[in-house]
Structure 1
């Protein structure tokens, strides 16, 4: 989890105020809405690592704006808490919840969160003109996880329609294609 989060922690502080309204490769979100998404769901993802059910706020994600004030410090702290909650092997064992009553295998939830961190870091980076990088071992892991959850992710509306990417493309590009991102996206 920490290896997936490290590039995000660097990019958070590179977002300039004028970039909050910039589009991202995730069609549903500009930078502000993507930051809001990460802040909104962060406590639930953190709770999942501690085997605690932490429901999202009562207001919907669209109704609640968490990007006021020093959002960069708040998001940095939230990402660090998520990483810490998933740091030990107990977090990955057994089952857990992602904010709701349904129990899921903890390893599945952890894999989904690692994928979420990688993809949304890439989204933010592309929006502001940065280039995050992860090690090959982590990207191979994320690729395996998104392949396992692709159909479910599309049914849930979490992944978009798959974007065709050559099998010989870099692993990150193949991950992005599976979850519905165009690896060649630019502003």
Structure 2
């Protein structure tokens, strides 16, 4: 698996989902409990900046990860943040570098490939969260592609296996949701990551 390329595909797919948001969508609910589209977009934008800072050598500092209110052009701000993190991850040797993911912990570093893996999974999932909030989840799933779904499953099974850890407060992913075996691969991925593929907007 080309981890950096898979992450790039995940991020670009999420950018397209954000670009497709209609006017007035920022207040709509998302599958992230209690989070509107606008609130989720704040989180996604800040996470790009945090991961970019980590990849470029920032220490155990929470400042780059802090969320800011949406500006006048949230779609443009999101696209710029996506470009920044992809540029940071493209640096030579980033997969083998030790980086600080300060939002997770300030007590130790992570190997760069672990950071990229976490980022990949977040943006496959949050891209769908954005798309399904406006009734576009099925089309989004069709754009992800088999290779990215397979890569996401590999990352998920390695770093976020289902089990009791997902029930702890603050867990990044909830317990898996049963999905029929004959369901499309992307829907099975959603279920494994704790999302209901049948989630209704509104």
Relative to the length of structure 1, the TM-score reads 0.86
State the secondary structure of the residue aligned to 1:114.
Answer: helix
Q: Which moved more, 1:35-44 or 1:163-172?
A: 163-172
Alignment of 1:1-187 (within 5 A): 1-53=7-59, 55-57=61-63, 61=67, 65-88=68-91, 90-99=93-102, 100-101=105-106, 102-130=108-136, 131-132=139-140, 133-151=143-161, 155=168, 156-187=170-201
State the secondary structure of the residue aligned to 1:10.
Answer: helix
C-alpha contact (below 8 Å) 1:95/1:106 kept by paired residues: yes
What count of residue pairs does the alignment treat as equivalent? 184
Q: Distance in 1 between matches of 2:71 and 2:154?
A: 36
Relative to the length of structure 2, the TM-score reads 0.80
State the secondary structure of the residue aligned to 2:160.
Answer: helix
Specify whether residues 11 and 59 from structure 1 end up closer, same or farther in structure 2 by C-alpha distance, changes over 3 A only: closer
Specify whether residues 125 and 59 from structure 1 end up closer, same or farther in structure 2 by C-alpha distance, changes over 3 A only: closer
RMSD: 2.3
| 1:18-48 superposed Cα distances (whole Å, 9 cap, x missing partner) | 1111111222311011001112222111122
State the secondary structure of the residue aligned to 1:18.
Answer: coil
C-alpha contact (below 8 Å) 2:13/2:144 kept by paired residues: yes
Q: Distance in 1 between matches of 2:55 and 2:135?
A: 32
Q: Give the gaps of 5 or more residues in structure 2.
A: 1-6
C-alpha contact (below 8 Å) 1:44/1:53 kept by paired residues: no
C-alpha contact (below 8 Å) 1:97/1:104 kept by paired residues: yes
Runs (4+) of structure 1 exceeding 6 A deviation are none
| 1:72-100 superposed Cα distances (whole Å, 9 cap, x missing partner) | 11111001111121124512113211135
Q: Distance in 1 between matches of 2:62 and 2:185?
A: 32
